[in-house]
Chains A and B, each alone.
Chain A
């Protein structure tokens, strides 16, 4: 399968730059798609090739509140794309059962902020199904999708990034794309992966991120981080929306500070690609990890801990984390809350001058 190779091209989206992916032609004809359309494309491919596949959740029948399932019910039938009652624990529990019975289950949780009622089903059941049964049963056919991350006005309950809660749960995979091309490839990998996967979709990028996306199905490997640009002085690690912030920070660091940054998109949070990150830090000696989720117990803590174990003697400065504060996600204070490019640039300055 042809690997997706990335070239930089910048699109200005409000006050943030979005860095587009370009893919090689071997993946076939492409079409301009935004992120929600690339998700629809992945789901369309899946329903076409896998007769057992079903998509369900709240409001998916009419197309979904973020339009990710538009047209699928008409195309594939109401027994394959259907609404469920308003109950996240039921959606995931039901999804596990579909998967256990051997069918492909794609469950939508309307916002990642509402995934918690399903936490027991995800952590105690889905993640442990194969292990506890001695591999007699499993729910590898289950994929859970949820809109994720800040959106400008989402406040406490429409902005959360809960990946850290699930990173602590052996048995599931947690995947976060940075754009339409990645989203389709990573989602298709999650669906075909024989383990239960949670796929978080950065909602701020649903409309705003537009790329040329292959129409045919393709996969991007899970548990493989991607080096988006090479550098020699600092390693920047992020995922999802924050990748675009980091790429801009890398440009600013080069221009203003003459600092060469290596930017890594982690892509899969669990199981994560320790090798790529450590290899980079061995080279650069400095690491900055950034995410919107609150800093304490956030996933940057896990990365930081592992890297200092593996690369202690290579470090030129303490590992830096630029994250959300330890508060619920605020409404009107969002511009102050988010780990923006100025905070990241400042952290790089401190590391360089350490």
Chain B
């Protein structure tokens, strides 16, 4: 039964380097068995090594990594929102496209207000998603609602697309009594069991091997679910990323790796993060199907994610999507990016290549969106966000009892003692503790 498929990578000997599109075409097979079909045979002039399937060569030549003309960027719209190749237009309904637009702009509005609220000392910290809204909405729209999402921290649009309420976003940022996370984490560390969005954690790339494990379990369930794992190009340097890629490929997991390559990891530009051809070029090294897309083109992101999802589940193998984009905002409220990049650079992306404006041009070209629509939507979305904001401001913080629960599923004797000791202490020194801000 040893159906041995061939795994053919052409060793490139031309100076032009890896011809990625040809590579992807030839990459039709997967090794699906641990054992060779034939025993080792030294009379054959073919290498017998178990570790690689290849031909002999008698010229000494190093394979050149290609970073001048790397893996091409798939796009559907040009920067003005015009469809380039009509066969690639997903031809989504007006309702769907309007929803894309409204989700992206609502996210943008929420970002502006919450960034400001940190500046005013109302919340402790915030991270915006400026410029990357297309990567969130395009990919989220291509998934099923019960597909499991592992994120890094700049994927709030995925949650927003799935229907996470403004109240819940704000509750987490304010760490008030309505926070699903019970006030335990810094702002933007969202999570939602109902929406299948695993709670964000601060350590980078830890979610990548976890996503592989979850995908493996989901595969065994036979439930037609996929798992998607988001991370940035900086996090992709972590060992956990290498682990996750390798595990998902060897263990044949229905998983989409979605890398947001936004040009910076805080202040570190990509030329200090890696020397190869970005993240997409690493995929073939793991035996993974890979693609690079224009992350600011919501339809390109949608198409690639949709096809990756379909095949990941049908074929039980991981896919790597590298969505090229640009981080228009600072890394966070603790960062001032003018220290390491020019305002001109940021303005280029904000004005000339923005996912929201490109989609708006697509919509206005079809008569789906007018100036009046824009004006009234801006007003309405801002009002909705402000109302949620005011509600969150007024809400009390969670009961301090919640400091001690959920460490384990059950309360332990030691924790109980510590809890009682804190309660006794606070009773004695209550004027020094901000009890009025907390729920009873």
Contact = CB atoms under 8 A, between A and B. Distances in A.
Contact of B247 (A54, A85, A103, A120): A85
Interface in B231-245: 239-240, 242-244
A101 B208 contact: no
Interface in A262-307: 271, 274-275
B148 interface: yes
B217 A171 contact: no
B220 A54 contact: yes
Instruction: Pick from A84, A138, A170 the residue with the most CB of B within 10 Å.
Output: A84
Interface in B156-188: 179-185
Interface of A: 52, 54, 79, 82, 84-85, 87, 89-90, 92-103, 105, 117, 120-121, 124-125, 128-138, 140, 170-171, 173, 194-195, 223, 271, 274-275
A97 B180 contact: no
A91 to B, nearest CB: 8
A134 B179 contact: yes
B193 interface: yes
Given A89-B240, A93-B243, A101-B214, A140 B180 contact: no
Contact of B213 (A52, A101, A275): A101
B406 A135 contact: yes
A3 B210 CA distance: 37
A271 B414 contact: yes
13 contacts: A87-B246, A90-B246, A93-B243, A94-B244, A95-B213, A97-B215, A117-B239, A120-B206, A121-B209, A133-B191, A134-B180, A134-B184, A171-B408
A136 B240 contact: no
B209 A134 contact: no
B164 to A, nearest CB: 12
A82 B213 CA distance: 13
Nearest to A171: B407
B143 to A, nearest CB: 16
Contact of A98 (B183, B189, B201, B213): B213
Contacts of B98: none
Contacts of B405: 135
Chain B CB within 10 Å, residue with most, of A52, A94, A135: A94
A275 B412 CA distance: 12
A82 B251 contact: yes
Contacts of B191: 133-134, 136-137
Interface in B413-431: 413-414
A102 B217 CA distance: 8
B43 interface: no
Interface string B246-269: 110011000000000000000000
B210 A79 contact: no
Contact of B198 (A84, A100, A135): A100
A77 B412 CA distance: 38
Given A136-B199, A137-B199, A223-B412, A97 B181 contact: no
Contacts of A120: 203, 206, 240
A134 B246 contact: no
A58 to B, nearest CB: 12
Contacts of B412: 223, 271
A103 B222 CA distance: 13
A94 B206 CA distance: 10
Nearest to A123: B203
Contacts of A103: 217, 220
A133 B183 CA distance: 9
B212 A94 contact: yes
Contacts of A121: 206, 209, 240
A93 B209 contact: yes
A301 to B, nearest CB: 16
Nearest to A173: B408
B214 A100 contact: yes
B217 A101 contact: yes
A106 to B, nearest CB: 12
Contacts of B148: 101
Contacts of B244: 90, 93-94
Contacts of A195: 408-409
A130 B179 CA distance: 15
Contacts of B215: 97, 101
B180 A96 contact: no
Nearest to A133: B199
Given A82-B251, A271-B412, A93 B206 contact: yes
A95 to B, nearest CB: 6
A128 B199 CA distance: 11
B409 A52 contact: no
A103 B216 CA distance: 10
A133 B216 contact: no
Contact of B409 (A92, A98, A194): A194
Contacts of B203: 120, 124-125
A274 B191 CA distance: 36
Nearest to B181: A134
Contact of B251 (A84, A93, A130, A275): A84
A191 B242 CA distance: 28
A89 B180 contact: no
B218 interface: yes
A232 B378 CA distance: 79
A132 B206 contact: no
B211 interface: yes
A128 B213 contact: no
B270 interface: no
B117 interface: no
Contacts of B150: 97
Contacts of B201: 124-125, 128, 132
A125 B247 contact: no
B401 to A, nearest CB: 13
B297 to A, nearest CB: 30
Contacts of B251: 82, 84, 94
B338 to A, nearest CB: 32
B102 interface: no
Interface string B275-288: 00000000000000
A79 B199 CA distance: 28
Contacts of B333: none
Contacts of B210: 93-94, 96-97, 100, 125
B413 A275 contact: yes
B273 interface: no
A50 B207 CA distance: 26
B118 interface: no
B66 interface: no
A87 B238 CA distance: 13
Given A85-B250, A97-B214, A98-B217, A130 B409 contact: yes
A89 B181 contact: no
A93 B214 contact: no
B303 to A, nearest CB: 27
Nearest to B215: A97
A93 B213 contact: yes
Contacts of B180: 134, 136
A173 B410 CA distance: 12
B181 A101 contact: no
B192 interface: yes
